[in-house]
Amino acid sequence: MNGPDLTPAERATAQLRGLYERFGYSKYQLGQFEEYSLYLKFKRFLNGGRILSFTDLDGRLLALKPDVTLSIAKNARLTDGAEKVYYIENVYRESKSAGTMQEISQMGLEYLGGPAGYAQAEVLSLAERTLAAIGPEYVLSVSHMGFLTGLFEALGLEDALARRVTDAISMKSAHGVTEAAREAGVGRVGLDLLGELTGLAGGFADTVKRARRLCLNVGMTQALDQLEETVRAADLEDGVRLDFTLQGDLEYYDGIIMAGYLAGLPRAVLSGGRYDGLMKKLGKDACAVGFALYLDDLKRLPRDRADLDADTLVLAEDDDVAGLLACVRALTEQGERVRVERTKPEHLRFGRVVRYCEGRLDEC
């Protein structure tokens, strides 16, 4: 299949496989089925929904896998160092809007058992580079579960009520947050803090400053410290958005969480985070962090982007190969698809056309 004939998902997987392997991730191949009991036990981790199950010929109750991370975490041995894997798999989940089961294509990676600080920074960096590989217009949002759990501890919220508040926060429902908190007996100061949390989002540096003014205990402060350290280590202070309405399940997620968005698509195409809590429930005391990219959503990219043969056409003569190649590499590292020609091909489509001259690129 020629390059121009590849779908956005095919182009992304081809490019990202190389990126992940350069960082030491190995391809992980899962079976199509898993024991139904595993998914039943960790249904909250799967965000509910029905699971497609059947009885095997030997009498075992099996399920078409609704999740990849859970299977990888369950099978991780971690007896000889960390495990770093990536996958390209289909999962099967209930579509609540359509009332049917749907097959969903995913690509993702998991870093299990590594140094916690480094693992978080590397995975965050790769999440950003994953979005950049698909298109130049994207947003990567981050948060930290420790900030929310610290706040709940300070307010004395028990698990069930904390989950209700978390759900309301994730829906950006100030009314829902207030109602759930009032039922839990939260006082006026706590209600005001939770209300502010639903609007606590924006540029990373400014939002961290706003969040620090809300800290009530060491747990909240440490969560912000760790988040700042991770983002700074990944060199993404100007490349991520901090959004405290971004939440995961309190029982499983306990560190950084992230969501990625592409221009032209209405919902997140990438999601992930640190899930040491899940590992502990599986009997493994280890750091674990990863993310998934939803490949099917790439089919919904605006047609003008999906139909381009390359994002940038570079017009150049063959007299400064080293300089030209350096410029092309810089563009590809920003996630652009680049083609070099002497003249513009009439039968191909490009997002922009630039000319290389004396070490720089000028718009045509």
Residue 299: per-residue pLDDT = 80
**Nearest of 332, 312, 323, 318 to residue 358 by alpha carbon:** 323
- pLDDT tens readout for residues 221-270: 999 999 999 999 999 999 999 999 898 888 788 899 999 999 888 889 99
* 21: its two tokens: 């392997």
Instruction: Indicate the domain borders of the chain.
Output: 3-135+264-303, 138-262, 310-363
Regions of the chain short of the pLDDT cut 50: 1-2
Asked whether the domain spanning 138-262 has the same topology as the one spanning 3-135+264-303, the reply is yes
Residue 97: per-residue pLDDT = 57
Residue 1: per-residue pLDDT = 42
Residue 138: per-residue pLDDT = 94
Architecture of the domain whose range is 138-262: 2-Layer Sandwich (3.30)
Q: Burial level of 309, CB count in 10 A (0-12/13-18/19+)?
A: middle
The answer to whether 200 touches 174, Cβ cutoff 8 Å, is no
Give the pTM: 0.79
Domain 3-135+264-303 carries which CATH code? 3.30.930.10
**Nearest of 154, 246, 156, 164 to residue 200 by alpha carbon:** 246
**Residues 256, 275: Cα–Cα separation, whole Å:** 9
Amino acid letter for position 122:
E
**Residues 120, 13: Cα–Cα separation, whole Å:** 22
**Residues 56, 53: Cα–Cα separation, whole Å:** 9
The answer to whether 339 touches 312, Cβ cutoff 8 Å, is yes
> Which residue in the block uniquely carries the two structure tokens 């800290």?
215
The DSSP line for 41-104 is HTTTTTTS----EEE-TTS-EEEE-S-SHHHHHHH---SSS-EEEEEEEEEEEEETTTTEEEEE
